[in-house]
Amino acid sequence: MTLATLTFSAEITSLMASFGVDEKALKGGTLAVRSPINGETIANVAEISTDETRKAIDAAHKAFLEWRLVPAPQRGELIRLLGEELRAAKIELGRLVSIEVGKITSEGLGEVQEMIDICDFAVGLSRQLYGLTIATERAEHRMMETWHPLGVTGIISAFNFPVAVWSWNAALALVCGNPTVWKPSEKTPLTAIATQAIFEKALKRYIAQGGKAPANLSTLLIGGRDIGEILVDHPKVPLISATGSTAMGRTVGPRVAARFGRSILELGGNNAAIVGPSADLDLTLRGVAFAAMGTAGQRCTTLRRLFVHESVYDTLVPRLIKAYGSVTIGNPLEAGNLIGPLIDKGAFDRMQHALDAARSAGGKVHGGDRVHGEAASSAYYARPALVEMPEQVGPVIDETFAPILYVIKYSDFDQALALNNDVPQGLSSSIFTNDIREAEAFVSDRGSDCGIANVNIGPSGAEIGGAFGGEKETGGGRESGSDAWKAYMRRQTNTVNYGRTLPLAQGVKFDI
């Protein structure tokens, strides 16, 4: 089927039915949902009111008072079942991600696989919420550190990972003893509704096998920024995990801090890679192509800046330009296409604006034009753009959420390292090199200032296990792996006196 004749309405109804979502939930609502693949309106879903939102948060807080008492390994059992349900629904949910966001099939499926992986991680974690025992100076005393559930976890997510980001947060929050309240992107409510239905299936099985769980353990708020703001300001939500643009974080961060709440901010990136003189150029070409063009440049970790050593510039860059010219762009559901659409017209316009600014700053633009505009006039497909820039100025400093790769020639490693770090964002970074000094320096104290720094792989993507997040205007939050779980819990230091005297610390005397 061509883009012009493609229609999704019937498929959406049957996909949603496979998750247990009634057709009625897709019709008559105030929020129109469109597929970026062909611009078709595929559903009109209901939005929650501000009053209902406040009530839902209060109800989630009540759920917290019970859920925190369920032993963590039992909470882990619910997440184990969620992982099973996600495995069973992987193909359908992956397809829905592709239709709602425009990801190619393997990336839609990959997003669901990431949800499954975090469930596996969280199940193991549910038996490893370890504290410490600490040496004390007082005789017959014991000092220890314990971790307790924190309270309702508010999750705000972006359109480009519409469901994985929920799972990164929810799987950890729930094993840590916290109910979740989720405000997904207003551009991707269908995948959120499907995910909530999959969660309900897991919950039903958990309760049927004797598991204890309160009502309102997982709440979904479909709505816009105003609904997100209620979550952000609510005193019964001690933790807000917000993923999206730096502009959003600039508002959300101070509002949460003003009420002494905690936040995990996962914001924009402006990720770079350095290609050293010794780099394996075949590997580099593939690494750069996927990181810069994959997901149509709509990943927070997308490669946006490339610093190429002058000795390999004339070999690598023409090969890259050729790859940019020949990459397959089109319906992401069709095998063979590697680049799908941009999310909407706004994204396409911002891409063109950045390219114009790059031209004005002396950049030489290859690609970047609209394709398939005639076949699908309400969809926005763009040829990825490679821009040779004389220096790091103008739009190179900003994150434009589209497939634009700025390429800059360098002569000295320290100069390239300084350029890597000389932007406001600090999410992900890479170096392609076979020089061990360069590689080690890049990941050293004086190296990349990003939350993620890779060697001989691109900066794009993440794997469950490592902590994910970045520095500076990326927000400083860490999610998913390593000890990210600690952000979802309350740390307590306990000193227990099992003797019959009362020695005071630091030798203080207070005899009455």
**Residue showing tokens 């105003």:** 226
Region from 20-28, 147-155, 203-211, 245-253 binding ligand NAD, contact rule CB under 6 A: 245-253
Region from 145-153, 157-165, 196-204, 405-413 binding ligand NAD, contact rule CB under 6 A: 157-165
> C-beta of 254: minimal distance to ligand NAD in Å?
11
The residue (of 179 and 184) whose beta carbon lies closer to ligand NAD is: 184
Cβ–Cβ under 8 Å, residues 127 and 153: no
Instruction: Choose which of 34, 103, 183, 262 interacts with ligand NAD (CB under 6 A).
Output: 183
Q: Is 399 in the site for ligand NAD (CB under 6 A)?
A: yes
> C-beta of 503: minimal distance to ligand NAD in Å?
48
Q: What is the DSSP string of 276-296?
A: -TT--HHHHHHHHHHHHHGGG
Region from 6-14, 127-135, 190-198, 221-229 binding ligand NAD, contact rule CB under 6 A: 221-229
Q: Strands 239-243 and 303-309, how do they pair?
A: unpaired
Q: Site size for ligand NAD, by CB under 6 A?
A: 29
Cβ–Cβ under 8 Å, residues 302 and 460: yes
What is the three-class DSSP state of 128? coil
Q: Is 159 in the site for ligand NAD (CB under 6 A)?
A: yes
CA distance 147 to 485: 10
Cβ–Cβ under 8 Å, residues 268 and 473: yes
**Residue showing tokens 């050593």:** 309
CB burial string 421-433: b at 16+ within 10 A, e below: bebebbbbbbbbb
Going along 75-197, which residue ranges are E strands? 133-134, 141-149, 153-156, 180-183
> C-beta of 317: minimal distance to ligand NAD in Å?
26
> C-beta of 400: minimal distance to ligand NAD in Å?
10
Region from 118-126, 228-236, 357-365, 413-421 binding ligand NAD, contact rule CB under 6 A: 228-236
Q: H or E stretch including 225?
A: helix 225-233
> C-beta of 6: minimal distance to ligand NAD in Å?
24
- Alpha carbon 438 to its chain centroid, in Å, reads 29
Please count the other Cβ atoms lying within 10 Å of the Cβ belonging to residue 174: 29
Region from 29-37, 46-54, 182-190, 379-387 binding ligand NAD, contact rule CB under 6 A: 182-190
Q: Is 269 in the site for ligand NAD (CB under 6 A)?
A: yes
Q: Is 53 in the site for ligand NAD (CB under 6 A)?
A: no
> C-beta of 332: minimal distance to ligand NAD in Å?
18
Residue span 437-476 as binding mask against ligand NAD, x where in contact by CB under 6 A, dash where not: -------------------------------------x--
> C-beta of 401: minimal distance to ligand NAD in Å?
5
Six-digit token string for 480: 């998913």
> C-beta of 18: minimal distance to ligand NAD in Å?
25
CA distance 287 to 372: 27
Handedness of CA 330, 332, 333, 335 (dihedral sign): positive
Handedness of CA 415, 417, 420, 421 (dihedral sign): negative
Q: Is 72 in the site for ligand NAD (CB under 6 A)?
A: no
What is the three-class DSSP state of 272? strand
Instruction: Choose which of 185, 284, 430, 433 interacts with ligand NAD (CB under 6 A).
Output: 185
Which residues are paired to 31 by β-bridges? 45
Q: Which of residues 469-488 bind ligand NAD (CB under 6 A)?
A: 474
The residue (of 245 and 456) whose beta carbon lies closer to ligand NAD is: 245
Q: Is 427 in the site for ligand NAD (CB under 6 A)?
A: yes
CB burial string 198-208: b at 16+ within 10 A, e below: bbbbbbebbee
Six-digit token string for 465: 């296990």
The residue (of 147 and 468) whose beta carbon lies closer to ligand NAD is: 468
- Active-site residue list: 266, 300
The residue (of 38 and 185) whose beta carbon lies closer to ligand NAD is: 185
Region from 107-115, 267-275, 403-411, 435-443 binding ligand NAD, contact rule CB under 6 A: 267-275
What is the three-class DSSP state of 351? helix
Q: Is 100 in the site for ligand NAD (CB under 6 A)?
A: no
> C-beta of 300: minimal distance to ligand NAD in Å?
3
Main-chain dihedrals φ then ψ at residue 71, nearest 5 degrees: -55, 140
Q: Is 47 in the site for ligand NAD (CB under 6 A)?
A: no
Region from 86-94, 96-104, 247-255, 307-315 binding ligand NAD, contact rule CB under 6 A: 247-255
Going along 271-363, which residue ranges are E strands? 271-275, 303-309
Q: Is 397 in the site for ligand NAD (CB under 6 A)?
A: no
Instruction: Choose which of 74, 251, 337, 434 interacts with ligand NAD (CB under 6 A).
Output: 251
Q: Is 252 in the site for ligand NAD (CB under 6 A)?
A: yes
- Alpha carbon 464 to its chain centroid, in Å, reads 12
Q: Which of residues 111-150 bind ligand NAD (CB under 6 A)?
A: none
Angular region, 234: left φ>0, alpha ψ -120 to 50, beta rest: beta
Angle between helix 72-88 and 105-125 (nearest 10)? 160
Residue ranges in contact with ligand NAD by CB under 6 A: 156-161, 183, 185-186, 224-225, 228-229, 232, 243-245, 248, 251-252, 266-269, 300, 399, 401, 427, 474
